[in-house]
Structure 1
Amino acid sequence: MAVNRPEWQQYQHEVAATLSQLGFTVQVEERVTGARGEHDVDVTARMASAGVTRLWVIECKRWNRAVPKECILTFSAIVADVGADRGLVFAESGFQAGAIQVARNANLTLTSLADFRESVEREIAVIRVRGLQERITALEDEFQSVWDLDQEERDRRIAQYVGPPSAFGLSGHSAVMAPVLARLSQMKEALNFASFDRWPVAYWPLDSELSIDVKAWEGLLFVIEETVVTCERIRDQMMSPRKNIRDWRELQSQEMTDLLNAIRQTADG
């Protein structure tokens, strides 16, 4: 059944839906506690990246006139009080010159729905790229840290490694983790290439020496996120095994396995 909302409330939900489509966890009309008190916020949007949750607070002005300076000053104080990473004001009738000036000197974005949808996709990709790069670097450091352990502990950890074997038949302790470390390095490189719009970007699956060309942010972020999660599970199994894993593919999501199989079948066909 359709919900009959006032126009201003429908606008809030349209803004929330747009942010949700971009990967944010959103809430409409949330009461947020700040350092100096509680504030009723039209929309809140949260996104976790590298273990840190970023908070955006949003004001929605479905007015028939331009938003004045005073409204932006009030909202700016709320953004500061709740410690939000960013404040956004959505309006379809524009902003007065004084409001625009205030926003330039604060952590605020003044926009319309159409303008926001056009400009924000790359910005969200940058946030996700930063988080993935931090996770990849942390994984590289943790795998490399095995060599800092005494020999007995190092041998025990390496014996618990369940990641993909070397495709070149290499043996010995120095080659055990090489495939995962190589993929981590290649994923950082792929993210860097994409950041400079050098498409298509080559992505190497954990179990293949044949790369896959990825042509857009959505696909690249998905396969790298999934691969990083799998590598994190390989690390966890190596550092503190919780169950008997015979093949690292057991640690890969079914969605990722199905996607790779579909890509390979298309290539073979």
Structure 2
Amino acid sequence: MDNRYPKLTLTPLEFEHHVRSMLDALGHSILEYKSEHRDIIQGVDGEYEIDVSARFEFLGMSFLVLVECKHYKNSVKRETLQALHDKMRSVGAQKCALFTTSGFQSGALKYAETHKIATVKVTDGHSMYFTKSMGAELIEPPPWANFPVVSGWLIDGNHGSVVSADHGEFLERFLFSCL
């Protein structure tokens, strides 16, 4: 979550594909998992285009998770999460998540915590490298370190947990533990 690393230079479409790969990283442990990019889902009040959807079966029941990707310059506002939560209820999804390149306003994080919405800040993959110094000077990872181009941080209260195509366990626990 360190802002000293370079900003991502992804197009919105590339950003959505990276988010889908992060979500797919956790699909290995559930049955009949599939994800869709730009899925059109019928709700009680109309159709919605969802950036990434994930469907799976667990304990003989079908589940749907909605994921919105916001490639913003400014922090995500509470209203954006409210709109996602409304879509979730309209289409009958069980969970939702919002991935952004910009971070979240405090009111948005409070709303997400109250409604159990996963919030993930997507960053340059080098942000996975932390040292004890954590000073003002950026310390580059060693050349042998193999970090993804894109990673993310699941923001849960005062904690941040890494999310990437290789590390989906924290997001998986957040999204699927309360179903």
CA contact (8 A) 2:23 2:168 kept: no
Q: C-alpha separation between the residues in 2 aligned to 1:20 and 1:31?
A: 19
- CA-CA distance at 1:104 after TM superposition: 2.2
* Structure 1 position 43 matched with structure 2 position 47: no
- Compared CA separation, residues 86 and 64, structure 1 to 2 (3 A): same
* Structure 1 position 64 matched with structure 2 position 102: no
* Structure 1 position 124 matched with structure 2 position 172: yes
Q: Which amino acid aligns with 1:95?
A: F
CA contact (8 A) 2:118 2:175 kept: no
Alignment match of 2:34 (pick from 8, 25, 40): 25
CA contact (8 A) 1:16 1:28 kept: yes
- Structure 2 match to 1:10: 14
CA RMSD between the two structures: 2.8
4+ long deviations beyond 3 Å: 122-130
Report 1:1-269 matches (<5 A): 7-23=11-27, 24-113=33-122, 114-116=152-154, 117=163, 120-121=168-169, 124=172
Q: Which amino acid aligns with 1:82?
A: V
Q: How many equivalent residue pairs?
A: 126
Whose RCO is larger (CA < 8 A, sep 6+)?
2
CA contact (8 A) 2:76 2:102 kept: yes
Q: TM-score, with normalisation over the residues of structure 1?
A: 0.42
Q: C-alpha separation between the residues in 1 aligned to 2:112 and 2:174?
A: 22
1:160-200 Cα deviation digits (max 9, x unpaired): xxxxxxxxxxxxxxxxxxxxxxxxxxxxxxxxxxxxxxxxx
> Which runs of 5 or more structure 1 residues have no equivalent in the other structure?
1-5, 131-269
1:137-166 Cα deviation digits (max 9, x unpaired): xxxxxxxxxxxxxxxxxxxxxxxxxxxxxx
Alignment partner of 2:73: what SS? Answer: coil
- Compared CA separation, residues 128 and 57, structure 1 to 2 (3 A): closer
- CA-CA distance at 1:73 after TM superposition: 1.4
1:61-100 Cα deviation digits (max 9, x unpaired): 1112101122111111111111111110001211112211
Q: Percent same amino acid at aligned positions?
A: 25
1:208-229 Cα deviation digits (max 9, x unpaired): xxxxxxxxxxxxxxxxxxxxxx
Which has the larger share of helix?
1
Q: C-alpha separation between the residues in 1 aligned to 2:177 and 2:115?
A: 25
- CA-CA distance at 1:101 after TM superposition: 2.1
The structure with the largest alpha-carbon Rg is 1
- CA-CA distance at 1:126 after TM superposition: 9.2
CA contact (8 A) 1:49 1:127 kept: no
Alignment partner of 1:87: what SS? Answer: strand
Q: Which amino acid aligns with 2:16?
A: Q
Q: C-alpha separation between the residues in 1 aligned to 2:173 and 2:68?
A: 23
CA contact (8 A) 2:53 2:67 kept: yes
Which has the larger share of strand?
2
- Structure 1 match to 2:140: none
- Compared CA separation, residues 84 and 65, structure 1 to 2 (3 A): same
> Which runs of 5 or more structure 2 residues have no equivalent in the other structure?
1-9, 28-32, 123-151, 155-162
